[in-house]
Amino acid sequence: MATTTFNRLMTEPRRTDNPSTAPARNPENEAAQSPSLMLLVLLASAGILVYAVFLLDPANRGDWLPYSMVIVAEVVLITQALLSMWTILSSGHNPRGFAFHHAQDTLYDMAEIIRRRAESAPEQWRMYIKDRPVTVDVFITTYGEDIETIRRTVTAAVAMKGEHLTWVLDDGRSDEVRDLAAELGARYVRRLTSNGAKAGNVNYALSITSGEFFVIFDADFVPLPDFLYETVPFFADDDVAFVQTPQTYGNLHNLISRGAGYMQAVFYRFIQPGRNRFNAAFCVGTNVIFRRTAIMDVGGMYSDSKSEDVWTSLMLHERGWRTIFIPMTLAVGDTPETVEAYTKQQLRWATGGFEIMLTHNPLSRKRKLTMDQRLQYFVTATHYLTGICPLLLLLVPPLQIFFNLTPMNLDLTLGNWLLFYAGFYGMQIVVAFYTLGSFRFEVLMLAAVSFPIYVRALVNAVFKREQKWHVTGQKGAVSSPFTFMMPQVWFFAFLLITTVVAVWKDLGNGYFSLALAWNATNTVILGAFVLTAAQEARRNKRAAAAAKKQKPETASAQLEAPREAVLVGATTGGAA
């Protein structure tokens, strides 16, 4: 493989020898430039505005309590939807210019590679920017992940094209991880404390390393060989602080992992690329390469929040640095597979967003941001309010079923309501269908049932409560998923009872109401989540039983181990 790459670099003509040559095509940007997508986004934006006018028309207003709940929820959703559509319309922007392509063409000195006889060792190819050699440190942050997960990531990181040093930053303080790093040719760093969590881990590594650039990978994200080849050339522009690549997932094999993964697909394919146009693309904590001097300019990675990635990006933008996102998969990792992992991940992300909203309002005059950046960070800071909106909307049908309180004028026909409603939600589904390739029930389910997580995150941010954080793939005892989702279980039971009452009531009235249909739909969605958790609990119980059964066998097999261990130790000691 390495020899093939070397031969290609030797035989292919350099694209930028002639400055008039058109830039190479970048297929990952073509989806964002699709005229069909642009048309759908414009139609969806029109549908959002029409629905907003319909809701705010006094003639359509119903009882004040459910109407107020609908208005609060829908204003948040409409605002976020419009700003997202605006960003998607900008997502065709291509950050690769002549400077990038020229830097990529001259990244390796082919004569030097031949001189050093390193044709088949691309990890030793020295990289150059503007004819000057550059140094790169690769940081892999670990905190108790499975050893095989870390092995895959470290092995791939060490083998990336371009000369670099790989460092394993082990906040789990594991001797097994230390030995693995030595085995694979990586350097190992262990701190005495875990102050500052992941940001503190990276900052400590920066204090003992000297690379001009540094890469961050979470322990469960396996980089592709071309990561440095596709990202380092952007630093030919001296104002670039970091280059972020997407989080792509390879474990989409159950309802939770698919829902969590697909929820982010549109963000990485269209929202982040759109932010390039406004110089507002932010770091997501992994699969990213930084310029050291940029991070030093803001005092290191921001460590006063568990969402250090977004906060660090905000600090960099306020200092005038430029950031770049490329929608090219250059590392593949794991998305949460369990209710516990998903809950704790979303809790961490949402708390960080709410902290920005409450303590560092991007719209404030104090912030040294452009208007575009202010709006983009405002969307980021308030995004998780959309996750609380389903709570308000879930309570509207029961108000009508139990108390005959209706959110809209009862003189409205069902056809009229559905027409305006479809203009908003129907077009959102169409856009999601187009961008994801199909309708994803998993996304709808997680979006509808995650409100307890976001309410808790908002409370944590308001009262500045600390939370014990969790990393995807961390080893340890398996918890029951119901430990983390009892609010959803209670809401499911309440909605199920409400649906039964609504059926009984509508049978007496001789017709089925919109409130029944709305409430029954919510019950099915929450029920699907509860069923998913029940299946996960059964899997966990079977796995625990299998592990318990295997444990006595392992213990008996180790009875003869001490004698053999002494012999091996003695042999090793003698050799040393």
CA torsion, ordered 470, 473, 479, 481, to nearest 10 deg: 90
Instruction: Give CA–CA dist 329/323, Å, rounded.
Output: 18
What DSSP state is assigned to residue 236? G
The one catalytic residue in 170, 171, 218, 220 is 171
Per the annotation, the verdict on 17 as an active-site residue is no
> How far apart, in whole angstroms, are the C-alpha atoms of residue 285 and residue 382?
19
Catalytically annotated residue among 137, 218, 220, 309? 309
The sign one gets for the Cα dihedral 490, 544, 148, 563 is positive
Q: What is the DSSP letter of 222?
A: E
DSSP annotation of 232: G
d(C-alpha 91, C-alpha 534), whole Å: 40
C-alpha to C-alpha distances, 148 to 155, 345, 486, nearest whole angstrom: 10, 22, 33
3-state SS, 59-127, equals HHECCHHHHHHHHHHHHHHHHHHHHHHHHHHCCCCCCCCHHHHHHHHCCECHHHHHHCCCCCCHHHCCE
Is 170 among the catalytic positions? no
The SS3 assignment for 164 reads coil
Report the C-alpha gap between 181 and 468 in whole angstroms: 27
Give CA–CA dist 529/488, Å, rounded: 8
CA dist 317 and 519 (Å) reads 45
Q: How many CB atoms lie within 10 A of CB 196?
A: 19
- Tell me whether strands 288-291 and 240-244 are parallel, antiparallel or unpaired: antiparallel
Please answer whether residues 287 and 217 qualify as being in contact, where contact means their C-beta atoms are separated by less than 8 angstroms.
yes
Report whether 159 contacts 2 (CB < 8 A). Answer: no
Which are the catalytic amino acids? 171, 309
